Amino acid sequence: MGAERVAIVGIGQTHHTATRGDVSIAGLVREAAQRALDDAAMTWSDIDAVVIGKAPDFFEGLMMPELYLADALGAVGKPMFRVHTAGSVGGSTAIVASDLVASGVHKRVLTVAFEKQSESEAMWALSTPFPFSPPMHAGAGGYFAPHIRAYMARSGAPDHIGIMVALKDRLNALKNPYAHLHEPDITFDSVKDSFMLWDPIRYSETCPSSDGACALVMVDESLGDDAAAAGRNPAWLHGTALRSEPTLAAGRDQVSPWAGRECAADVFAQAGITDPRKQVDVVEMYVPFSWFEPMWLENLGFCGQGEGWKLVDTGVTEMTGDLPVNCSGGVLSSNPIGASGMLRFAEAALQVRGQAGEHQIDGARTALGHAYGGGSQFFAMWVVGSAKP
Amino acid sequence: MRDIAIVSFAQFNSPIERQRNEVEMIMPVVGEVRDRISITKDKIDFVCSGSSDYLAGVPFSFVTTLDAVGPWPPISESHVDMDGAFAVYEAWVKLQMGKIDTALIYAYGKSSPGDIRRTVTRQLDPYYLGPLWPDMHSIAALQARQLLESGQITEADMAEVAARSRAAAAANPHAVVSGTESAEELLAAPRTYDPLRAHDCPPVTDGVAAVVLAAGDVARELCDRPAWIRGIEHRIDPHALGVRDLTRSPSAAAAAKAAGVADGTVDVAELHAAWSHEELLLRRELGLGDDVDVNPSGGALCANTMMATGLIRMGEVAERIWAGNADRGVAHAASGPCLQQNLVCVLEGE
């Protein structure tokens, strides 16, 4: 963390859905931003700077969307910054915005992330031929399925673990009015019987393709205190970390990437967390395919190698467990890609503010927001708390 | 604020890079920017890059180009879909937080493989302007036309900018265009995008630039005369051309004021003016007098490596401060149609 403490005082998101045909891209981001401003009891003119993130630009056919969105986000005459990392972009964007406050450069920063997947076809936008490179996959699932198979072989995890994660997240999503997928009739068997997309990933173990946006307002300590005094408890930032590693490197472990382990160790150290399993109350992690929950539990240090699936199997990560994961329904229930990382960070902040509604974990004081991208090689994480760091 | 300086710079520009892909093009430049100050990659605390997927023609193109810095063991790293000058801004903010001391920034673009005039139309409002596919030279021509018709500049002024830039570029091995024509000779050329002539427009350029930033005493150890960042600010204007007075760039003026351009003498300025009339507009918005040495490198009119052009401006000013040829300089970067977004950086030697 920097010299200044950072408080998250405004959180907004859209209702995520397959097609938001009723709004333009500008309308979509403005909806989330307006909700975050309302939550922060602020107006557009209160904001010093805007940080926007999404990835990749190909999905909407719009290059450098920050230029066109400057007006819609009230950025005219102000600094407007654009972040573009991989699937982790929503998380990276929130971190860049928090840096602006932590460094003392600005006092009130609005950050927004979005994706309007209905404007294109993400799977094929991700499957363009790279010059001089062999075509490796069709869509992200084809890329990650071998990593999951490696995890299953390595840990001896039984087939039903992925089904359990998918069922849990989709049931949690029923408690989140903003979630894209609301499937009240979902059962273990319906997930199990859904067709195999990329063995071992079934259709119901896969994230949807969503339109949506998320926005946060971050302020300095004094404004955070003001919000608390007015009865609007902020989430306080306790640590942020970014790590990246190459797509290909000799000895690289795609199942539990070095960058993920280092990123988690860094962010926990900043937050003074020595025993994550005990000290973290709730986790929002980036799980686009069900099996990534046990994989990330291990990578993040919540348990030993090969133990993650056992936490799932024994219900530890359910809302009633001692380490609830993705109470919002997670990426498995809403995936506006560019916003998905920021949604994880935002949901973590909602939990420590006690404002997560039906999917609130009672008494949550410390939460982890996690995002990853690329070939499991880009990581962004933050720890937020109900108390000041 | 913490004192942060540019301590190393390297660049490569070519009219067309036929042999090497982006990673192969970046690696030697990143190697050079480290070697110039004998810094090894384990001493770099943060990496930030700037590039555009639309130039590479693939989504997430920066993922593979990260290989050029050798991120193994893993590194703390970020990327912007903006000019590398904005990546400098992100790194400068990180350095302000006081936990790290060095950062490496690189930016690159290959404009030659596609039709850059069509590609850049994709950054326009996708509902009203983008579908018309107005190419970047035609949009710049609208701004030039307004400046001319309002009597603020003349075609001869534009030709003077081009002639001076092309002559200066002759001494710059990194320029891809240069020339010895007088302004009168340039004015004899036909208009290609009325009122613009070929010499008023930037050349297609492939290339890379990289800088190293360092804080306080670390900067002094790495560099005899660091180029200290005394101010770095950016602002954005509305997007729609129809709601803007194209003879002005309020965001450039506001960024210059906030960065403190007027707080001292400016010896040298490198402006991201890709079309000749933009230099004339920017000189006024930044408050630069006739005594300021503007674009001694030849500027973007003579090498326009998209996504790195602004970063190169910073490097060019820093090099002149290191060499003692300037004590205080201004570097400028721009993005968007008709100078919509502007970043101004004031650099100073001790």
pLDDT band at A140 (very low <50, low <70, confident <90, very high): confident
pLDDT band at A201 (very low <50, low <70, confident <90, very high): very high
- In this model, does residue A357 exceed pLDDT 80? yes
Strands B102-110 and B46-50: parallel
The ranges assigned to domains in chain B are 4-115+204-227, 136-200+228-348
Among B97, B106, B213, B241, most A C-beta atoms within 10 A, so best to mutate, is: B97
Between A62, A86, A246, which is nearest B67 by CB?
A246
- What percentage of chain B carries pLDDT values higher than 90? 97
Number of other CB atoms surrounding residue A133 within 10 Å: 10
Among residues 62-91 of chain B, which lie with CB inside 8 Å of chain A?
A: 62-64, 66-67, 70-82, 86, 89-90
Strands A108-116 and A49-53: parallel
pLDDT digits (tens, 9 = 90+) for A248-281: 899 999 999 999 999 999 999 999 999 999 999 9
User: Which tokens is A201 given?
Assistant: 């990933």
- In this model, does residue A207 exceed pLDDT 90? yes
Kindly state the average pLDDT of the residues B151-171: 98
Between A77, A126, A257, which is nearest B250 by CB?
A77
Amino acid (one-letter) located at B187: L
Q: How far is CA A281 from CA A33, A269, A288, A348, in A?
A: 28, 16, 22, 10
- What is the per-residue pLDDT for B143? 98
Q: Is the peptide bond before A294 cis (omega within 30 degrees of 0)?
A: no
CA distance B161 to B273: 10
- The verdict on pTM exceeding 0.95 is yes
Residue A235 lies in a domain: no
CB-based contact B176:B205 (threshold 8 Å): yes
Kindly state the average pLDDT of the residues A317-333: 98
CB-based contact A285:A293 (threshold 8 Å): yes
pLDDT digits (tens, 9 = 90+) for B52-104: 999 998 888 899 999 999 999 999 999 999 999 999 999 999 999 999 999 99
- Provide the phi-psi class of B31: left if phi over 0, else alpha when psi is between -120 and 50, else beta: alpha
Domain containing A37 — which CATH number? 3.40.47.10
Q: What residues contact residue B158 under an 8 Å CB cut-off, 6+ apart? A: B144, B200, B276, B277, B280
Residue A260, φ and ψ in degrees, nearest 5:
-65, -40
Residue B201 Cα, gap to closest chain A Cα (Å): 21
CB contact under 8 A, A103 and B239: no
Which DSSP string corresponds to A50-97? EEEE-S-GGGTT-SSHHHHHTTTTT-TTS-EEEE--STTHHHHHHHHH
CB contact under 8 A, A81 and B66: no
CA distance B332 to B266: 13
CATH top-level class of B136-200+228-348: alpha beta
Kindly state the average pLDDT of the residues B177-188: 98
Q: Is the peptide bond before B28 cis (omega within 30 degrees of 0)?
A: no
CA distance A278 to B155: 72
* Best CA proximity match to A128, nearest among B252, B297, B58: B58
Residue A19 lies in a domain: yes
Kindly state the average pLDDT of the residues A332-353: 97
CB-based contact B51:B108 (threshold 8 Å): yes
ipTM over 0.90: yes
Q: What is the mean pLDDT of chain A?
A: 95
Residue A329 Cα, gap to closest chain B Cα (Å): 27
pLDDT digits (tens, 9 = 90+) for A91-109: 999 999 999 999 999 999 9
Residue A82 Cα, gap to closest chain B Cα (Å): 6
CA distance B92 to B182: 41
CA distance B347 to B264: 11
Among residues 370-389 of chain A, which lie with CB inside 8 Å of chain B?
A: 374-375, 377-378
Among A28, A47, A63, most B C-beta atoms within 10 A, so best to mutate, is: A63
- In this model, does residue A129 exceed pLDDT 70? no
Among residues 46-85 of chain A, which lie with CB inside 8 Å of chain B?
A: 55-64, 66-71, 75-85
Distance of CA A254 to the CA centre of its chain: 19
Helix (H, G, I), strand (E, B) or coil at A343: helix
CB-based contact B266:B168 (threshold 8 Å): no
Q: Is the peptide bond before A200 cis (omega within 30 degrees of 0)?
A: yes
Identical topology for domains B4-115+204-227 and B136-200+228-348: yes
Query: Touching check for B57 and chain A: CB below 8 Å?
Result: yes
Kindly state the average pLDDT of the residues A359-380: 97
- In this model, does residue B112 exceed pLDDT 80? yes
User: Which tokens is A249 given?
Assistant: 């490197």
Q: What residues contact residue B322 under an 8 Å CB cut-off, 6+ apart? A: B223, B224, B225, B226, B227, B349
- What is the per-residue pLDDT for A1? 43
- In this model, does residue A125 exceed pLDDT 90? no
Residues of chain B neighbouring A242 (CB-CB closer than 8 A): 76-78
CA distance A348 to A365: 10
Give residue A222's domain range.
Answer: 6-122+209-229
Among A103, A110, A382, most B C-beta atoms within 10 A, so best to mutate, is: A103
Residue A274 lies in a domain: no
Q: What single-letter DSSP state applies at residue A44? A: G
User: Which tokens is A284 given?
Assistant: 């929002």
CB-based contact A271:A385 (threshold 8 Å): yes
Between A66, A75, A242, which is nearest B76 by CB?
A242
- In this model, does residue B140 exceed pLDDT 70? yes
- What is the per-residue pLDDT for B348? 98
Amino acid (one-letter) located at A116: K
Residue A250 lies in a domain: no
For chain B, the first-to-last Cα distance in angstroms comes to: 16
User: Which tokens is A250 given?
Assistant: 């000799």
- What is the per-residue pLDDT for A58? 85
User: Which tokens is B260 given?
Assistant: 């403190």
Which strand ranges, in their side-by-side order, compose the sheet holding B46-50? B77-80, B46-50, B102-110, B206-215, B4-14, B227-236, B341-348, B328-335, B268-270, B293-294
Residue bearing the bigger pLDDT, B310 or A124: B310
- What is the per-residue pLDDT for B335? 98
CATH top-level class of B4-115+204-227: alpha beta
- In this model, does residue A133 exceed pLDDT 70? no
CB-based contact B220:B3 (threshold 8 Å): no
Tell me how many domains chain A contains.
1
CB contact under 8 A, A84 and B96: no
* Best CA proximity match to B84, nearest among B157, B180, B10, B34: B10
CA distance A110 to B211: 29
pLDDT digits (tens, 9 = 90+) for B10-51: 999 999 999 999 999 999 999 999 999 999 999 999 999 999
